[in-house]
């Protein structure tokens, strides 16, 4: 019996490693496709959405630069420099991964709206939290609702507000802009960067608000946060990332059909039972075979496997 469990656990490790190999190749390929006309390996929608988000980030930065330096016509200024700055931003694998994950998240959000009529903003679980008798949880629910509404609007426009970037990516994006400007950047550009930094508030971003929501409403939410048709995509991935201690981007990418073992391990690490795990996997991939071997490892071991995989991918 012990040998059988060890074999099953070994099979899970091998399957996860195969998935890691695929994920490791995504961002270099995506970076190439954003600069090339042929992107048959990725859907047109995903590539266009990632490109749109990068272009929007560049536009926001360049508008700020134009205003600080007294340029006439910020649109013309952004048009002149936009493509080159986007190419600079594409050099950040972390930023590419983040934008790619957001595009996948929105794609799945649209799919559930089409297939199950699930509202992209106000899901059943979020309704329940907003109606909670605890005013703190209810208030957190309203803040998350507003943030998700902004996310939906931005994704429909293929945009990404600078203020929605996680703190490390916000910092990295401004450093990329600084590098683009070169050593000859003016004091006005330096002041413009300082202004952007002083206006930035990571705690007001959607990811932080969703995580705070789950923290405050934990008792009333329970395992419902890990059920797609109840929680909705945004809360589901936030709960999965928190429960499995993975970066949210990797939790989102585990929804790919070739990452089914990573998804199963993440759900197991988050405390979801076998039947519920099968329900989630079938919801995502109706034709997928069940993942075997999960009963051979505990939640902690599943979490450790994912942590090791994250480190191999440079995301730990």
**What is the count of structural domains for the chain?**
1
- Render pLDDT for 89-122 as a digit per residue (tens, 0 to 9): 999 999 999 999 999 999 999 999 999 999 999 9
Query: Measuring CA to CA, which residue among 231, 240, 237 is closest to residue 141?
Result: 231
Spatial distance between the Cα atoms of 237 and 243, rounded to a whole number of angstroms: 10
The answer to whether 82 and 59 are in contact (CB under 8 A) is yes
Rg of the Cα atoms in the chain:
21
Report pLDDT for 38: 39
The answer to whether 257 and 285 are in contact (CB under 8 A) is yes
Kindly report the number of other CB atoms within 10 A of residue 273's CB atom: 11
What's the N-to-C CA distance of the chain in angstroms?
Answer: 33
Residue owning tokens 């990295």: 172
Given a cut of 60, whether residue 30 has pLDDT beyond it is no
CA angle 74/80/85 to nearest 5° reads: 100
Q: What is the DSSP string of 106-140?
A: HHHHHHHHHHH---SSS-HHHHHHHT-SSHHHHHH
- Render pLDDT for 173-183 as a digit per residue (tens, 0 to 9): 999 999 999 87
Q: What is the DSSP string of 154-172?
A: HHHTT---GGGS-HHHHHH
The answer to whether 34 and 90 are in contact (CB under 8 A) is yes
Given a cut of 60, whether residue 37 has pLDDT beyond it is no
Residue predicted with more confidence, 3 or 201: 201
Listed in sequence order, the residues at least 6 apart from 78 whose beta carbon sits closer than 8 Å to its beta carbon are 58, 59, 62, 63, 66
Given a cut of 60, whether residue 17 has pLDDT beyond it is yes
Question: What is the pTM for the complete model shown?
Answer: 0.87
- Render pLDDT for 245-281 as a digit per residue (tens, 0 to 9): 999 999 999 998 888 999 999 999 999 998 899 999 9
Averaged pLDDT, 49-71: 94
Report pLDDT for 7: 56
The range of the structural domain enclosing residue 34 comes to: 2-312
Q: Which of 5-19, 38-52, 196-210 has maximum average pLDDT?
A: 196-210
Report pLDDT for 157: 97
Averaged pLDDT, 218-232: 83
| Half-sphere exposure (Cβ direction) of 152: Cα atoms closer than 13 Å | 17
Report pLDDT for 56: 98
Kindly report the number of other CB atoms within 10 A of residue 13's CB atom: 17
Residue owning tokens 């990573």: 262
Report pLDDT for 70: 87
What are the structure tokens assigned to 195, written together?
């202004």
Given a cut of 90, whether residue 51 has pLDDT beyond it is yes
The answer to whether 221 and 242 are in contact (CB under 8 A) is no
Report pLDDT for 1: 47
- Render pLDDT for 211-221 as a digit per residue (tens, 0 to 9): 999 998 766 57
- Render pLDDT for 119-168 as a digit per residue (tens, 0 to 9): 999 999 999 999 989 999 999 999 999 999 999 999 999 999 999 999 99
The answer to whether 225 and 137 are in contact (CB under 8 A) is no
Residue predicted with more confidence, 308 or 170: 170
Query: Measuring CA to CA, which residue among 152, 142, 162, 145 is closest to residue 108?
Result: 152
Averaged pLDDT, 237-251: 95
Averaged pLDDT, 214-236: 86
């Amino acid at each position: 019996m012990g040998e059988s469990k060890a074999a099953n656990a070994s099979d899970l490790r091998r399957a996860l490693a195969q998935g890691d190999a695929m994920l490791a190749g995504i961002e270099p390929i995506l970076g190439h496709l954003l600069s090339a006309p042929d992107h048959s390996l990725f859907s047109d929608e995903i590539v266009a959405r990632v490109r749109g988000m990068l272009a929007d980030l560049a536009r926001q930065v360049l508008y700020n630069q134009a205003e600080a330096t007294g340029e006439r016509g910020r649109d013309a200024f952004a048009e002149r420099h936009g493509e080159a700055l986007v190419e600079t931003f594409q050099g950040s694998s972390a930023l590419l991964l983040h934008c790619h994950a957001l595009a996948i998240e929105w794609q799945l959000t649209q799919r559930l709206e089409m297939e199950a009529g699930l509202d992209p903003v106000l899901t059943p679980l979020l309704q329940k939290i907003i109606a909670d008798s605890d005013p703190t949880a209810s208030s957190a629910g309203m803040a998350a609702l507003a943030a998700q509404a902004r996310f939906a609007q931005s994704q429909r426009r293929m945009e990404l507000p600078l203020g929605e970037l996680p703190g490390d990516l916000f910092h990295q994006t401004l450093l990329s802009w600084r590098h683009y400007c070169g050593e000859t950047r003016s004091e006005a550009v330096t002041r413009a960067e300082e202004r952007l930094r002083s206006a930035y508030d990571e705690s007001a971003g959607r990811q932080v608000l969703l995580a705070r929501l789950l923290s405050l409403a934990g008792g009333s939410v329970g395992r419902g946060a890990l059920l797609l048709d109840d929680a909705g995509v945004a809360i589901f991935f936030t709960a999965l990332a928190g429960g499995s201690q993975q970066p949210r981007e990797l939790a989102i990418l585990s929804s790919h059909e070739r990452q089914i073992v990573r998804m199963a391990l993440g759900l197991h690490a988050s405390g979801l039972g076998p039947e519920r795990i099968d329900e989630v996997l079938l919801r995502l991939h109706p034709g997928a075979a069940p993942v075997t071997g999960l009963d051979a490892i505990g939640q902690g071991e599943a979490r450790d496997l994912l942590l090791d995989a994250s480190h191999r991918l440079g995301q730990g």
